[in-house]
Amino acid sequence: MKSTDLFFRRLVSSWKYQYGIFRSIADWTILLYIIIPGAAILAMMYRSWWAETPDWIANLPLFLIFFFLYIFSWIGNIRPFVQEADKVFLVKNRNLYLGMRKWGFAYSLLFQTVCTVAMIVFLLPFLMNRYLLEWSQIIALLIFFIALKWTIMTVSYHLKRIEKKLKKYALGFLLFVLFSWFSQLVYSLWDLGAVMPVYITSVILLAGTFGRTYQLLNRVSTMDFEVKLEQEEKTKYIQWIFMMAPEIEKPAFSVHTKPLLFRKSKRIFKKRTPFTGLIELFLKIFIRNPSYIFSYFQIISISAAGIIIIPPIWIKAIVLGIFLFLAYSWLSITWDKAIMSHPFTKKYSEKEFYYSARKRTVWALFILAIMLLGVVLACWLIVLSNLGILEGIGA
């Protein structure tokens, strides 16, 4: 067996697996009434952007488009296509194993390149008709973000190997800021029409990425980590489904011996009653479970992004309505799952104080979610106001 045959066999198997996940959530009704009409509407909108620039982007500075592409550069990971059984067989066949990994790394870089090209093509009507960029500037922009994405993918590969979460998050935030400053410097040169320095910078980034990748491809010591990384990449869409569908969500258990908050299980309420006891129990479960916290803020952040990005006011109102319905429903389901899952607390489900505690807690967290959404939207409006582009955004 050749390394190319093994790689393409695993690649096709991965595609079939992801297609099965897609088919499990997108039946013929969703495909017919949501996906196909949505794709048709998006295609018509994209065609209309070439004919006439929409009003909502008329006062949007070019730097925000550049910053959006920078954020997009952080999406994507390297896939080694390594499996658990490889420890037994492929390690003894070093050339086959390393060849398969090389194809996996190359595929990851090529796939993310295609995604970057697709994003630039998507923004092309604005870049050409609104900002009147020349092809030389657009190509330089494309080359830079391809090089930047490859560099960030390599850096993220090393970040994921850090076991301590605090160190990983702190270092990740620091690198995000440093790369942001570096990208702003490149933007200042690119905006002045200095295309050659942008090309030189891109070549330097690519050279560093290729040099570091070459070193990684000749190592076998990272096999355990790459098995875990490949499993995460393979199942990431399932994890998204779990987070967005609380009725099938699998709670994540912390590996810490003590939780970060309420580690000594101190009382939240001084007055001890069955009513306050249930509220305190749920709040501690909710705060200590990372999947609950992440899903809670994910609903808020996605809704805020939809309200901010989608231009028409009436669609913003629809997104807000969906947020209100989804947030309240998710909190209600989460309460039932957290409290009703244990037989000790389940026996109180018919008591009056149970429904009172459930209603009070769900409404409190629901109002808090609305307030957090309002804070995010207010901060966005302040930024737009300071930039002088608030007028015309909601058209």
* pLDDT tens digit sequence for 304-339: 877 776 666 777 788 888 888 888 888 888 887 877
DSSP 92: T
pLDDT at 393: 44
- In 3D space, the residue among 170, 68, 137, 194 whose CA is nearest the CA of residue 185 turns out to be 194
CB 155 within 8 A of CB 178: no
Whole-number Å distance between alpha carbons of 299 and 327 = 7
DSSP 56: G
Q: Provide CB contacts within 8 A for 334, sequence distance 6+.
A: 246, 286, 292
Most confident option among 18-27, 168-177, 227-236, 265-274: 168-177
- What's the rounded mean pLDDT across residues 141-157? 93
Which residue has 């990983």 as its token pair? 168
User: Max Cα separation, the chain?
Assistant: 73
Per residue in 284-302, pLDDT tens?
Answer: 888 877 778 878 888 888 8
Per residue in 91-118, pLDDT tens?
Answer: 678 788 888 888 989 999 999 999 999 9
- What's the rounded mean pLDDT across residues 245-272? 52
CA distances from 205 to 78, 108, 224, 289 (A): 17, 17, 28, 39
Mean of pLDDT over the chain: 79
Alpha-helical segments (H) within the chain: 3-25, 28-30, 36-51, 62-72, 94-125, 135-159, 165-191, 195-217, 223-244, 274-288, 290-309, 313-340, 343-346, 352-387
CB-count burial class (<10 Å; 0-12, 13-18, 19+) for 150: buried
